[in-house]
Amino acid sequence: MYFICLVNPIITVLTVGRFFPFKPSKQINKCDLWRKVAKAKGLSQEARKRLKWMIYYHALAGRNARLTCRHFGIPPKTFYKWFDRFDETNLGSLEDKSRVPRSTRQKEYTNLQYLRVVELRKQYIRYGKMKLLKLYQARFPDDLNITSWKIQCIIQRANIYYHPQKQARINRKRVLSQKRKKITDLKMKKIKGFLLCLDTVTFYWMGRKRYIVTAIDKWTKVAFARMYTSHSSYNTRDFLYRLHFLLDGKIDNIQTDNGSEFKKHFDRGCAKLKLLHYHSRVKTLKDNPDNERFNRTLKEEFI
């Protein structure tokens, strides 16, 4: 048997490029590709900054994470957080995720309690929560879990008021009057005592939970800390009074996070001392970097 091979000569001619000339494809570096994709996709400034970390890590640092952290002046914890989240096929993974709480407080009353309170409220529309509580306890003595707070929540949810429109205006005014002041709205001045930053550090000592309230002047770096057995607003108000005495009353503004320990009694203390209370944004540590650094020094050198 004889075989005539006609394929090889044709392939040879084509590969030489005699009839079909072609240009060699240009190899694109993946780091350059990331830059082009980031520009085309319109990544935010923060995401592009994190992308620079990844490019430096792969292209210049030889996959050395510590060298990358030293070059950009960032803690290793921050780098590894975004390194683990980084997806080469999806640069959007470097964007900030939503800071909305995953779980919120749910109702504490039962459906039966809701129906009973609504019936009583419609029957006695002018009665408040305390009178309705007495009527409820007299009519349903077996239900021991009802409180005036639950009755108030049910009334607000059902929106059963004698003057609904008037009550809606009152509620709106109340909400607007309690609007928190954000630290981003404050115009900074490099003056001693212009802004005192407060925070709470939690730690365990001899099997017991303790709380250290810390404060630091943003510009002079004068710091103060005191330990408490609980992080109630009563204790933080005590801390505020001590801080005010320590600095001879030379305090203009106070910055805290959104914790419950900086509410109620603490707000009353600020009002009594005529101090403006500003809040940091939720899960935004860069709003209070001076106090965060002081907390780290306190943990590493004194606790």
| Span 248-263, pLDDT tens digits | 889 999 999 988 899 8
Whole-number Cα distances in Å, 111 to 114, 130, 140, 180, 197: 5, 20, 15, 34, 44
Over residues 8-34, the mean pLDDT reads 60
End-to-end CA distance of the chain: 92
Instruction: Decide: 226 and 213 in contact? Cβ < 8 Å.
Output: yes
Give the pLDDT score at 173: 74
Confidence at residue 114, expressed as pLDDT on a 0 to 100 scale: 94
Residue 288: exposed, middle, or buried by beta-carbon count in 10 A (0-12, 13-18, 19+)?
A: buried
User: pLDDT-based confidence at 177, cuts 50/70/90?
Assistant: low
Q: For position 7, what pLDDT does the model report?
A: 45
CA–centroid distance for 273 within its chain: 28
With 70 as the cut, is the pLDDT of residue 21 above it? no
**Tokens linked to 181:** 């002041």
- DSSP label at residue 276: E
Given this model, what pLDDT does residue 108 score?
86
Instruction: Give me the pLDDT at residue 138, please.
Output: 94
What is the fold of 183-301?
Nucleotidyltransferase; domain 5 (3.30.420)
Q: Which residue has the tokens 């059902």?
A: 158
pTM: 0.48
Q: Which of 45-59, 113-127, 165-179, 224-238 has the lowest mean pLDDT?
A: 165-179
Cβ–Cβ under 8 Å, residues 160 and 122: yes
What residues pair up with 220 in beta bridges, in sequence order?
none
Lowest mean pLDDT among 26-35, 51-60, 141-150, 270-279: 26-35
pLDDT for residue 83 is more than 90: yes
213 DSSP β-pair partners: 200, 226
pLDDT score, position 86: 94
Whether residue 253 contacts residue 194, with contact meaning beta carbons closer than 8 Å, is answered with: yes
Over the stretch 205-233, which tens digit does the pLDDT of each residue have?
Answer: 888 999 999 999 999 999 999 999 998 99
The predicted model gives 297-301 an average pLDDT of 90
| 48-63 mean pLDDT | 93
> Is the pLDDT confidence value at 157 over 60?
yes
Give me the mean pLDDT over the 2-31 stretch. Answer: 54
Q: pLDDT value at position 197?
A: 95
3-state secondary structure (DSSP) of residue 271: helix
Give the percent of the chain with pLDDT over 70. Answer: 90
CB 254 within 8 A of CB 194: no
**Beta-bridge partner residues of 278:** 181, 255
Does the pLDDT at position 9 exceed 90?
A: no
Spatial contact of 133 and 146, defined as CB atoms under 8 Å apart:
yes
Output the average pLDDT for the chain.
Answer: 87
8 A C-beta contact, residue 276 and residue 252: yes
pLDDT of residue 27: 67
Q: Is the per-residue pLDDT at 1 higher than 80?
A: no
- The whole-number pLDDT of residue 24 equals 61
> CA–CA separation, 83 vs 76, rounded Å?
10
Question: Could you tell me if 201 and 211 are in contact, meaning their C-beta atoms sit under 8 angstroms apart?
Answer: yes
Q: What is the mean pLDDT of residues 99-112?
A: 84
Q: Where are the domains of the chain?
A: 30-94, 111-164, 183-301
Closest CA to 299 of 209, 208, 214: 214
Tokens standing for residue 29: 């570096």
- Of 123-127, 172-176, 293-297, which gets the smallest average pLDDT? 172-176
